[in-house]
Amino acid sequence: MGTALVYHEDMTATRLLWDDPECEIECPERLTAVLDSLQQRGLEQRCLCLTACEASEEELGLVHSPEYIALVQRTQTLDKEELQALSKQFDAVYFHPSTFHCARLAVGAALQLVDAVLTGAVHNGLALVRPPGHHSQKTAANGFCVFNNVAIAAKHAKKKYGLQRILIVDWDIHHGQGIQYVFDDDPSVLYFSWHRYEHGHFWPFLQESDACAIGQGQGQGFTVNLPWNQVGMGNADYLAAFLHVLLPLAFEFDPELVLVSAGFDSAIGDPEGQMQATPECFAHLTQLLQVLAGGRICAVLEGGYHLESLGQSVCMMVQTLLGDPTPPLLGLMVPCQSALESIQSVQTAQAPHWTSLQQNVAPVLSPSTHLPEGRSLSLLAESSTCEVAEDAPSPLLDGVCLRPTPPVCTAVALTVPGAALALPPRVLHQEGSAMREETDAWARPHKSLFQDEGLDALGKILCLLSGILDGQVRSGVASTTPHATAATLDVAIHRCLSHGAQRLLCVALGQLDRPQDLADDGRILWLNIMGKEAAIWSMFHISTPLPQTTGGFLSCILGLVLPLAYGFQPDVVLMTLGPAHGLQNAEAALLAAVLRGPAGGRILALVEEESILQLESTLVQVLRGEAPPSLGPFLMASPEEIQALRFLKGQLEPRWKLLQVAALPPGQCSPVA
């Protein structure tokens, strides 16, 4: 099981034979540049490489009319003048005698990829194709696209495998109107596209690219358009779009397969998109999608015209599909005003169709009486002293020696006999322990650690933590002895700080009180997800109740935990499941899976002994990059859960800008000028 790469070198054959400044960017070098970068980084060798075969006419007919297919077929024998004349009948299209062959290979590649994933031959994969597909329509080529590779792949997955819910994520910078038209009234395909729009002044200049185009009939709510009205959107804007729009809907939809219209003209340097997102962003977007559909992702290349940016972005995606940890996301995590307005306009347009957006309305800024009394509110004054720009993110890990590719992916340190019977490959069963004197010294302030096996467990955990901090091990799972979880976490925090960690994210579940002497100088972001109450001691010390519904849990993760974690950019994450943590297996797995992103995969999960047997293998799997199990049926968040989240978001927003959801008058879609 791994990642498929589907390709055929014949797809480099089609090219522009005359002068056309609009079309010349769609050139054969796009594919060769991508392959070169994949080879250079040793990524191609790690994939299962499949050679594409041409799609059949019947397969093309899943989307295109026989007349249109015949028309494209006839281009094989046309001369240059005839090709040029025919091309002019379409918008931004060129034909070449090899176009029919290439376009059939492109569709065939997408279908083979879907087959490989849905038969279980691989987890996921990427089809490297030309020509692209998402603009092409039943009877028309459009925007360099001849056959609609991804739309045909979705139809194929429905027909051959009986799938009932397919998510298409179109992160190309152009609106894939071709895909939108095919599934306009089809509720089994959720189509999400963001695109440069500029209030309708950008190609393809369509009113139906705006946020208020939501699908027709039964398909209402299953077309999701996020128009960018300015150029220059960056990592924070893309991340906000995923956290606040795409992922809430995607979890509620619960797809069986994710297809990505993977255009990289949305990346920095691209002449078409003019956006700012760096290649690393695509690693994070990919990783966020990997928690859906059991990790079944089929990506198909669309646009991307800056060869170097394209090559790097594709590498980031493939690396993530292979399960590698994500590189740090650079830049201040502050979405721009225009992005927030766009996000707000989609939320407004889609809210009638999606429960998860209804609960996601703008935060309340003044706490209501339902909220925790006393200490939490009296401490709110502190919040105003923490302004955002005070601590501009220092370069991640500067000064800390963490090597990039540790030989061991995940290590497990256990105190429970019988656990860890069968560990997957590249998982180390950690036997080593810190020196006895060292362990004693760390344990000294905590009586609980001197009981039972407490010191043995701590010795192993210290050793594992050193491995993570030194970069020999990527991530770890360790069990703590009963009654000693809080003490263990306290020691782990001090150990990280003494190693020089600059930003440490502690996500503590269950009854784990905030350590007495917890530094509040911005080095530690303490987030307690527990039974009791929402409370904010400072912009870095936060407590939220554990939601009891899937909807509430997802809102908490997507709307609070991840915006904080990505805004904080931690060196390391300590995820601790303490007494009465109350988390289901699937919830713990999802939390661990998404927390890999902001910390480059450096997570230590500390689990109270009573939970370890149940959780160990799931946690190890997700830390190695496998998909978490499904959360089960979507249950709407309760009013109390929504209220608590709104309160926290409202209080924390001044410091943590990724929490922002524009609190503007609801955006209205205006006619294209």
Torsion angle, alpha carbons of 615, 604, 534, 666, to 10: -100
On whether the CB atoms of residues 484 and 448 are closer than 8 A, the answer is yes
Contact between 22 and ligand X5A per CB under 6 A: yes
Q: Which part of the chain contacts Zn ion (CB under 5 A), choosing from 9-17, 169-177, 287-295, 644-652?
A: 169-177
Active site residue 123: no
Is 541 in contact with 552 (CB distance < 8 Å)? no
CB closer to Zn ion out of 265 and 608: 265
Alpha carbon distance 75, 164 (integer Å): 36
Tokens matching residue 30: 């796009």
Q: Which residue has the tokens 């039974």?
A: 531
Classify residue 271 as exposed, middle or buried by CB count within 10 Å of its CB (0-12, 13-18, 19+).
Answer: exposed
Q: Can you name the residues that pair with 549 across neighbouring β-strands?
A: none
- Beta-carbon count within 10 A of 18 CB: 12
- Of 592, 588, 630, nearest to 611 (Cα)? 588
Q: What is the x/- site pattern for ligand X5A, positions 156-195, by CB under 6 A? A: ----------------x-x---------------------
Q: Of residues 135, 156, 175, 499, which has the active-site annotation?
A: 135
Question: What residues form DSSP beta bridges with 300?
Answer: 127, 261
134 binds Zn ion (CB under 5 A): no
Concatenating the DSSP letter of every residue in 191-216 gives EEEEEE-GGGTSTT--GGGSTT---S
Q: Is 13 exposed, middle or buried (0-12, 13-18, 19+ CB in 10 A)?
A: middle
Q: Does 263 bind Zn ion (CB under 5 A)?
A: yes
CA distance 126 to 388: 39
Q: Is 143 a residue that touches ligand X5A (CB under 6 A)?
A: yes
Query: What is the smallest separation between the CB atom of 261 and Zn ion, expressed in angstroms?
Result: 9
Q: Which stretch binds ligand X5A (CB under 6 A): 143-151, 327-335, 478-486, 536-544?
A: 143-151
Q: Binding of ligand X5A at residue 565 (CB under 6 A)? A: no
Q: Applying CB under 6 A, which of residues 7, 203, 251, 354 lies at the interface with ligand X5A?
A: 203
147 near ligand X5A, rule: CB under 6 A? no
Question: By the 8 A CB rule, do 645 and 564 touch?
Answer: no
- Quote the distance between the C-alpha of residue 140 and its chain's center: 33
Residue 567 contact among Zn ion, ligand X5A, none, beta carbon within 5 to 8 Å by kind: none
CB of 142 to ligand X5A, least distance (A): 8
How many C-beta atoms lie closer than 10 Å to residue 242's C-beta?
Answer: 22
Q: Report helix, strand or coil for 547.
A: coil
Whose Cβ is closer to ligand X5A: residue 43's or residue 145's?
145
Q: Which does 132 bind (CB under 5 to 8 A by kind): ligand X5A, Zn ion, none?
A: ligand X5A
Angle at which helices 585-595 and 609-623 cross, to 10°: 50
> Of the ranges 168-176, 190-198, 200-208, 407-415, which one interacts with Zn ion (CB under 5 A)?
168-176
For residues 377-406, which are near ligand X5A according to CB under 6 A?
none
State the nearest-atom distance from the C-beta of 577 to Zn ion, in Å: 43
Residue with Cβ nearer ligand X5A (207 or 498)? 207
Cβ pair 252, 351 in contact under 8 A: no
- As a whole number of angstroms, the distance between CA 122 and CA 99 comes to 29
Q: Which does 143 bind (CB under 5 to 8 A by kind): Zn ion, ligand X5A, none?
A: ligand X5A
Q: How far is CA 113 from CA 110, 126, 159, 322, 479, in A?
A: 5, 7, 15, 15, 40
**Identity of the residue, 208 or 456, whose beta carbon is nearer to ligand X5A in the bound complex:** 208
- Give the count of beta carbons closer than 10 Å to the beta carbon of residue 207: 12
- Nearest to ligand X5A by Cβ — which residue? 303
Instruction: List strands edge to edge, sheet with 535-538.
Output: 427-429, 408-413, 473-480, 603-608, 572-577, 504-509, 524-530, 541-545, 535-538
Does 265 interact with Zn ion (rule: CB under 5 A)? yes
Concatenated DSSP letters of 161-192: H--S-EEEEE-SSS--HHHHHHTTT-TTEEEE
Q: Can you tell me which of 44, 172, 210, 641 binds Zn ion, judged by CB under 5 A?
A: 172
Min separation Cβ 20 and ligand X5A, Å: 10
Least Å distance, CB 265 to ligand X5A, is 5
Considering the complex, what minimum distance in angstroms separates the CB of residue 202 from ligand X5A? 9
Q: Which stretch binds Zn ion (CB under 5 A): 170-178, 537-545, 559-567, 657-665?
A: 170-178
**Count of residues in contact with ligand X5A, rule CB under 6 A:** 14
Q: One symbol per residue from 247 to 286: x for binding ligand X5A (CB under 6 A), - otherwise; what is it?
A: ----------------x-x---------------------
Can you tell me which of 132, 467, 551, 563 binds ligand X5A, judged by CB under 6 A?
132
The answer to the question of residue 145 lying near ligand X5A (CB under 6 A) is yes
Strand partners, 297: 124, 258
Rounded least distance, CB 315 to Zn ion, Å: 19
Beta carbon of residue 24, minimum distance to ligand X5A (angstroms, whole number): 11
Window of 116-124, 138-146, 437-445, 620-628 that interacts with ligand X5A by CB under 6 A: 138-146
**How far separated are the first and last CA of the chain, in Å rounded?**
50
Taking CB under 5 A as the criterion, the residue among 125, 219, 303, 510 binding Zn ion is 303
Closer residue to ligand X5A, CB minimum distance, 303 or 667: 303
Handedness of CA 670, 203, 175, 107 (dihedral sign): positive
Among 33, 50, 92, 592, binds ligand X5A (CB under 6 A): 92
Phi first, then psi, for residue 208 (nearest 5°) are -75, 5
Q: How far is the CB of 131 from Zn ion (least distance, A)?
A: 12
In this chain, which of 46, 96, 158, 174 binds Zn ion, going by CB under 5 A? 174
Contact status: 144 vs ligand X5A (CB under 6 A): yes
Report, in Å, the least distance between residue 261 CB and ligand X5A. 9
**DSSP secondary structure code for residue 260 in this structure:** E
Task: Please give the residues from 293 up to 312 whose contact with ligand X5A meets the rule CB under 6 A.
Answer: 302-303
- By the criterion CB under 5 A, which residues form the site for Zn ion? 172, 174, 263, 265, 303
| Residues marked as catalytic | 135
- By the criterion CB under 6 A, which residues form the site for ligand X5A? 22, 92, 132, 135, 143-145, 172, 174, 203, 263, 265, 302-303
